[in-house]
């Protein structure tokens, strides 16, 4: 609430940043799913198989990326585009989830992938933007 009693509007930039990062991540994850399924990431699948013996083929990594990253990010994006009251909270949850997801992957696949570091930064930026958006509610 502002001093005159009017409801405070969230900073537009925090909302736009959060939604943009959700869109970027959802699209990137969909591209990653396609990369797994097409065989473009077979060297990564082989590398994963060395440390996670239950990974047998392309389907599990593709499903994990789609189910744990693409769908939640797209869902949070839709909430934000509809201006749902839970959109800032959803942005925070998916940002934390992305950061944790990538953080857990780094030791498994190595610390040299620029894509992993980029999406780790995206996750952290999404958390910060969503926190600013939430605080302004």
Q: Is 116:105 a contact under the CB 8 Å cutoff?
A: yes
Q: Is 94:126 a contact under the CB 8 Å cutoff?
A: yes
Between the alpha carbon of residue 82 and those of residues 6, 75, 88, the distances in Å are: 22, 11, 12
- What pLDDT sits at residue 4? 62
Handedness of CA 41, 47, 50, 52 (dihedral sign): negative
Quick count: other Cβ atoms within 10 Å of Cβ 47?
15
Average pLDDT over residues 104-113: 87
- What pLDDT sits at residue 6? 58
Instruction: Specify the number of domains making up the chain.
Output: 1
Whether 44 is covered by a domain: the verdict is: yes
Which residue did the predictor score with more confidence, 2 or 47? 47
Whether 19 is covered by a domain: the verdict is: yes
Average pLDDT over residues 80-108: 96
List Cβ neighbours of 129 (8 Å cut-off, separation of 6 or more): 14, 17, 18, 21, 91, 95
Whether 5 is covered by a domain: the verdict is: no
- What pLDDT sits at residue 35? 95
Whether 52 is covered by a domain: the verdict is: yes
Whether 72 is covered by a domain: the verdict is: yes
Query: Taking the mean position of all CA atoms in its chain, how far away is CA 54?
Result: 24
- What pLDDT sits at residue 7? 57
Whether 38 is covered by a domain: the verdict is: yes
In the chain, what percentage of residues exceed pLDDT 70?
A: 93
Whether 61 is covered by a domain: the verdict is: yes
Range of the domain at 67: 12-135
Instruction: Count CA within 13 A, CB hemisphere, residue 4.
Output: 1
How sure is the predictor about 99, in pLDDT bands with cuts at 50, 70 and 90? very high
Whether 84 is covered by a domain: the verdict is: yes
Report pTM: 0.87
């Amino acid at each position: 609430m502002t001093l005159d009693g009017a409801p405070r509007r969230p900073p537009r930039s925090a909302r736009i940043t959060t939604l943009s990062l959700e869109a970027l991540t959802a699209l990137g994850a969909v591209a990653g799913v396609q990369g797994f399924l097409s065989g473009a990431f077979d060297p990564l699948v082989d590398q994963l198989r060395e440390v996670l013996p239950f990974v047998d083929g392309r389907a599990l990594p593709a499903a994990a990326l789609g189910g744990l990253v693409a769908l939640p990010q797209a869902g949070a994006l839709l909430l934000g585009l509809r201006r749902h009251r839970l959109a800032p909270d959803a942005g925070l949850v998916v940002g934390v989830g992305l950061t944790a997801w990538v953080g857990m992957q780094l030791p498994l696949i190595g610390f040299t992938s620029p894509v992993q570091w980029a999406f780790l930064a995206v996750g952290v930026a999404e958390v910060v933007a969503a926190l600013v958006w939430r605080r302004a509610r």
